[in-house]
Structures are given as structure tokens and as C-alpha cells.
A and B are shown apart, each in its own frame.
Chain A
Amino acid sequence: MKPDDLKQFSNSLKTRMGACFPGEKAIFRGHDLHQELGDIEWFDLYIYGITGKRFTKNKLSLLETIWTYTSYPDARIWNNRVAALAGSTKSTANLATSASLAVSEAEVYGGGVLYKSISFLLRTNKEIDVSSQLKIHIEKELHSNRGIAGYGRPLISSDERILPILEKAKSLGLNKGPHLKLAYDIEKLLIEGRWRLRINYAAISSALAADIGLSPMQFYQFMSTVFLAGMQPCYTEAVEKPAGTLFPTACHDIKYEGVKKRIWKEK
């Protein structure tokens, strides 16, 4: 694009997403928010905002449950700990949440692994027809990425969220999709192949979302707030306790492993 081409974008926003017309109305993806969408549930609106599509009640319920079942108010968990530390320093709740959400874009457990997991399942489902091909595909993935997103868990090998979310998916009639089946076929091969990598919540939620029809970007956007409900209690408790009492760290709690003391050069 040339400088002259940029001028057409100056001072005005051309959009199809929506706008506020103060004193009159607000449009959300082509619909009057207070009239046409007046009775919409917030979660429905959230997914509609991301995808531009409306989903069935059962699909929305499953997506919401994916959030619910990983809402852990445990201030030891790294992203939650950020929210709690903000409480302990008497920072604001909004800053606590915002920072905690930003930290949730983690390669180990958050947005990074979720995006990779759904991308892998969608790609694999498209490319692979038979299980012999799947094994080769898995070996290739393991070789190039030293792991498969959605398999294995950083702290322990079992995942307590899996059974409840599968039961929920079953109760909603959403447990028969091809990506969920594929996710388990992959686990079977990983265990048989002695990689000892068990399926985790990232792969399950990715598979369910893929079967519902979300793209990697849509799933990643949707999941950017997946841990939100667990953060607030961590902040609430920390801010109510005396300042500085969340994991106070004494000098001897730090294991210094650096160079010996030395003299800084003179000016």
C-alpha cells in the first residue's frame, strides 16, 4: 500500500461489525443490540461476536461448560497468582484481571497450546484417512515439535476435567464428532507407542470446539477468557487479607546461583 492509499482510512472507520449511535441505538454485527438482540444471553452474544454465527443452545451450553470446568480459584496457578499478587499489593481488580488474562496466553497451559491443539486436530482430520497414516503423522509431529499440543500435562499426567466434560458433551448429544474420536485415536497411539502422553483438557476442548465448528482463531479468541472466573476469587481473597501476605518471600527463600561478589568499575 502506498501513502496515498492510507489516506482513505484516515479519520473514518469503515466497518461491518457495529457502531454506537449515541442517544439512538447500537448495532452489533448488523443487528440492533437492544431490539433484535434484546433477549440474547451474554455467552451467545460473545460467541456471535467472535464468529458471526449463532449456535444451538446445546452447543453454547457445551462451550460455556468448557470454561466452567477449568475455572479454578487456586492462587498458586501462575495466571491466577498474578491476580492474587495484585490483590496482595492492593492494586485494582481490573488491572489484576487484565494482567492475569494476558499471562494466560501461555505456551505451557493457555492460549498457545489451545491454538496449536485445535490446529493440529483440524489439519490431521483433513489429511488423514487411515490409522497407519495417523501413526506416521503423529511421529512427524513429535519429531518436528517435540510433543503434541493437548497431550501430556505439566504437573501431573491425569486430568480431572476430562470425564465431567465428556459426560456433559454426551448429555447434550455432542460427543460423537470426528475430532473427538480423532483426539482419542491419537491418545491410543501415543500410549501404545510408549510416548506415555495422555490426552489433556486442551485436546478435549479443542476437539469439542472443532466438532462444533470453530476455527483455530475463533477458538483461541473464545478461550482467551477461559480462566476468568477463577481469577476473581483469587483477587478477592488476596485484597481482603493484610497487604503483602501472599507468598511473602524472605531473603533466604531465594536460591542465588549466580557469580560471586565482585567490584563494579569506578566511574
Chain B
Amino acid sequence: MQAIHTKIWLEEPENENPYATKAAYCHGYNVYDDMLGNCRWVEMLFLLLKGEAPTQQQADLLEHLAIVLANAGPRDAAIHAAMCAGVGKSVAASSLMAALAVGAGQYSGAREVYLIMELWNKLGTDESQWKNFLLNPSSSDIVSTWPDIEHIPGFDPHGNVTPMSIMTILNKLPIDAYTPHLQWLIYNRVFLEKQSTKPITITMIAATTFIDLGLTLDEGEMLMLLLRLPGAAAHSLEQKKYGHKKFPFYSIELEDQHGKKETQ
């Protein structure tokens, strides 16, 4: 018999049925008997990814970020995608799949978080290294299916001001000695924005938080995808109720090979 290997999950069967779970253990902890009622959702998330329970500070930090990321609002492309599913009354899973596919990208998405985390690992909290990079940004030359990226990860290519929301989030995150990268980001934000000439984004805050939580690049990318789904679900369901008559279809300007335009 071929087995599935795991370090995460142990299930003990009922005596009468090997397919029925008597008890389940997550990284050694009895989930239903011991954790349930004594464990926060974010603690379970952290345990699943890292194999160890978070400290109180880590759980608090992750919970703050989870609230920040829970809903990007209907202007966000991933939420827009989920709403497209909702308004057409697509099946529930398609809303989240749409949000995942669009929210996976290198512009405001989970891949951008991955790339920012990669930058943190490469540049650390070294001011001169960041300066050199921001003055001469280079992207990876690894051949992959990801399209070429046009902006510096973590900075808004269309921005001209640091939004108050970003400032408020940075002020409210529980930052202390356990979060050296977030601390450094707060102290050096103006410097970074001056060098890049662009304001930082939510993805920068998410990636920096993930670095301070000790997540790997893959774990950070995955958690970013996961934490943004609640808003996608809610907005999809809302548009399903509103219906297509209240959802923009937008106008179109079609240009042919000869430059002739046709609008609708």
C-alpha cells in the first residue's frame, strides 16, 4: 500500500471504521479535544504553516494583519474578479477561484508579496543596499511563466502620496523587538519612498509582517492568498443579490488595424 507522508496531521481511526476519525492531532496537539476552545484561528493558521504554536505577540500580529487583508474592497482587481462571478451567479467556488487567480499576481497580489519577501532576504535592513536596489531596480532573470514585472515590488507604481490607511495600519500593528523588519520599515519608510519616488503598499506591509513572523517565501505567498478571501466571498455574494443591472459593463472603444474606431 502506498502511503501519503505528513508531518502535520495524525488521525486515529475508530475501531469499527478506519475511515472515521476518533481523534486528530495537528503537529502533535489534539485538535478537537485540546485545541478547540483554547486556540485562536490565527494560532491554528500559524501552527499549520510553521509546526509550532505562535507566541502571544506573533498571534496578535498575525491577527492584526488578517483583519487588514480580509477585504481589499471592490476597487481591488481580485475582489472585482470575485464580483464578476457573483453577478453572473456562478457557483460559489468560482468566486474564490477567480479571486485567487487575479489576486495571485505580481501587482498588488500574492506573487508581489513573495517578491518583496525575497527582497527582504536579500537586502535585509541595510539602508545602503536598499538605496542601491531602489536606484537601480533589477528583476529576476529566471525564465518562468510569470510575466515581466514593471514596477518595484512593494511600491505603488501609480501612487503620488502615502495613503492615510497605510500610515494608520503601520501605527496600529503591534510592533516591538520581535518585529525588527516592521520597525525598520516604519523608521525608513520616508527614505524608501524618496529613493523609489513611490509610496509603499499593503503588500509591503504584508510581506514585512510575514518576514517578521518567520515565514518562508512560499508560506507568505500562500497566506496572502488565503487571508484575502473573506472579502472576495462577501463582495461576490453581495453582487449576486444586487444583480447585473447594477454592475458596470463599461463602454468600449474598438480600434481596427487601420486605426478606425468604433465605440459602444
Q: Report A's interface with B, CB cutoff 8 A.
A: 1-3, 5-6, 11-16, 18-19, 21, 27, 30, 91-92, 94-95, 98-99, 102, 105, 111-112, 115-116, 119-120, 216-217, 220, 248-267
A267 touching B38 in the complex, CB below 8 Å, given contacts A1-B157, A2-B158: yes
**CB of B138 closer than 8 Å to a CB of A:** no
**B252 adjacent to A16 (CB under 8 Å):** no
29 A-B pairs with C-beta separation under 8 A: A5-B158, A12-B252, A13-B253, A14-B255, A16-B256, A19-B264, A27-B262, A30-B257, A95-B97, A102-B97, A112-B145, A119-B143, A120-B143, A216-B143, A220-B145, A249-B19, A251-B11, A251-B18, A252-B13, A254-B9, A254-B10, A258-B7, A258-B8, A258-B9, A258-B10, A258-B51, A263-B29, A264-B30, A264-B39
CB of A12, distance to nearest CB on chain B (Å): 5
Residues of B close to A98: CB separation below 8 A: 94, 97
Q: What is the number of residues of chain B that contact chain A, defined by CB distance less than 8 Å?
A: 51
Residues of B close to A119: CB separation below 8 A: 143
Q: Which of A21, A92, A99, A220 contacts B264 (CB 8 A)?
A: A21
A220 to B6 alpha-carbon distance, docked (Å): 33
**A30 adjacent to B97 (CB under 8 Å):** no
**CB of B250 closer than 8 Å to a CB of A:** yes
**Supplied contacts A254-B9, A264-B34, 19 more A-B pairs, CB within 8 Å:** A1-B158, A2-B158, A11-B251, A12-B253, A13-B250, A13-B253, A94-B91, A94-B94, A95-B91, A95-B93, A98-B94, A102-B101, A115-B144, A249-B4, A251-B21, A253-B3, A254-B10, A256-B10, A263-B29
- Smallest CB gap from A86: residue in B: B93
A116 to B141 alpha-carbon distance, docked (Å): 12
Residues of B close to A1: CB separation below 8 A: 157-158
Residues of B close to A263: CB separation below 8 A: 29, 34
**B19 adjacent to A251 (CB under 8 Å):** yes
- Smallest CB gap from A4: residue in B: B160
- Smallest CB gap from A113: residue in B: B145
A262 touching B29 in the complex, CB below 8 Å, given contacts A3-B158, A254-B9, A255-B5: yes
Q: Which of B6, B38, B93, B158 contacts A266 (CB 8 A)?
A: B38
**A254 adjacent to B6 (CB under 8 Å):** yes
> Which 10 A-B pairs give the minimum distances between C-beta atoms?
A250-B18, A258-B7, A251-B13, A255-B3, A256-B10, A262-B28, A259-B28, A264-B34, A264-B29, A19-B254
Residues of B close to A2: CB separation below 8 A: 158, 160
A251 touching B12 in the complex, CB below 8 Å, given contacts A14-B253, A259-B51: yes
- Smallest CB gap from A248: residue in B: B19
A119 to B146 alpha-carbon distance, docked (Å): 13
**B25 adjacent to A261 (CB under 8 Å):** yes
A261 to B25 alpha-carbon distance, docked (Å): 7
A46 to B254 alpha-carbon distance, docked (Å): 20
A119 to B5 alpha-carbon distance, docked (Å): 35
**CB of B1 closer than 8 Å to a CB of A:** yes
**B4 adjacent to A3 (CB under 8 Å):** no
A258 touching B145 in the complex, CB below 8 Å, given contacts A98-B94, A253-B4, A267-B38: no
Q: Which of B30, B94, B143, B251 contacts A13 (CB 8 A)?
A: B251
A257 touching B28 in the complex, CB below 8 Å, given contacts A13-B250, A95-B93, A263-B34: no
A30 touching B256 in the complex, CB below 8 Å, given contacts A251-B19, A258-B8: yes
A261 to B21 alpha-carbon distance, docked (Å): 16
- Smallest CB gap from B255: residue in A: A16
CB of B188, distance to nearest CB on chain A (Å): 24
A102 to B98 alpha-carbon distance, docked (Å): 11
Residues of A close to B4: CB separation below 8 A: 249, 253-255
CB of B116, distance to nearest CB on chain A (Å): 20
**CB of B27 closer than 8 Å to a CB of A:** yes
A105 to B8 alpha-carbon distance, docked (Å): 26
**CB of B123 closer than 8 Å to a CB of A:** no
- Smallest CB gap from B260: residue in A: A30
Q: Which of B28, B51, B159 contacts A260 (CB 8 A)?
A: B28
